[in-house]
Amino acid sequence: MGASSLILQALFLGVLQGLTEFLPISSSAHLILIPRFFGWQNSLIDNLTFDVALHAGTLVAILWYFWKDWVDLIRGFFRIVRQRRVVNFQEKLIIYIVLSTIPAAIAGFLLQDMIETSFRNPGIIVFPLTVVSFLMIYAEKRSKRSQPLDKLTLKDSLIIGFAQALALLPGVSRSGITITAGLWRGYQREAATRFSFLLSTPAIAGAAFLQLRHLFYPGMATDWPFFAVGFVSSGIAGYLSIAFLMRYLRQHTLNIFAGYRLILAGVIIFWLFLKG
């Protein structure tokens, strides 16, 4: 396969990653499925290292979009260190984010090998795609959606943090499961979405920095153009995806995304049936 074809594939997957990382439809599922659907059998783009390079692009996107929030959160952290006490919600929020990131960090450390091998099976993806879709529909139907973000409690943030740990399984969707958990706990869609994105930032950063060391192995220098294309395209698409979802969920439900996930699960089953 020529370099130009690989560049186009990297560009396509970068845009796909940027869009699906923040829309509640599972970026990991799409990054696993698309190369298989189109027969892109290339170890350069169908591996966890390339996935994480794309995640680095979406990390830039989320920091870009929420830079004011993160400046306030970092300032709050240093106020806590200096004053040795928590005074306002911004200071509470950074503590909540740190503590709620721990479940996903532990799960990622313990399950890293399984994530890279067994979990990249299209047949396995069908189950979480389907289950989380129904959870999204249920949360939209039953949630009161009355609590703003500044009413967030440590208990609720930890519940959302444990939900985020489930997103290590392809097909779950980090934003999908955490926004759903936030709705289930009674928070407004915008509040649940904002906390979901803020909470995802350390997790995305940790995964990216953990795996990016592979980019510096001997022989990887010639692959840098492909990673660069994926990185830039995922960053731009990711920013647009965040901006869209933050606006969309102010007036609309998650149901359209749940419907898409169910259709995708059906497509996977049909594809596996044809292959068999």
Highest mean pLDDT among 6-10, 46-50, 104-108, 190-194: 190-194
User: In which band, very low, low, confident or very high, does the pLDDT at 177 lie, cut at 50, 70 and 90?
Assistant: very high
Query: Could you tell me the residue range of the domain that residue 162 belongs to?
Result: 3-275
The number of distinct structural domains making up the chain is 1
- Which pTM was predicted? 0.90
pLDDT of residue 206: 83
Place of tokens 């869009």: 19
Contacts of 164 (CB under 8 A, 6+ apart): 100, 101, 103, 104, 174, 177, 178, 199, 200, 203
Mean pLDDT of 72-85: 92
Distance (Å, rounded) from C-alpha 96 to C-alpha 117? 32
Specify the range with the lowest mean pLDDT, choosing from 13-17, 223-227, 233-237.
Answer: 223-227
CA–centroid distance for 187 within its chain: 20
pLDDT of residue 222: 55
What 3-state class would DSSP assign to 147?
Answer: strand
Q: Has residue 192 got a pLDDT over 60?
A: yes
Contacts of 252 (CB under 8 A, 6+ apart): none
Question: Are 57 and 143 spatial neighbours (Cβ–Cβ below 8 Å)?
Answer: no
Distance (Å, rounded) from C-alpha 125 to C-alpha 142? 26
pLDDT of residue 208: 76
Specify the range with the lowest mean pLDDT, choosing from 26-35, 150-159, 222-231, 252-261.
Answer: 222-231
pLDDT of residue 49: 63
- Give the other-Cβ count within 10 Å of 158's Cβ: 15
Q: Has residue 60 got a pLDDT over 90?
A: yes
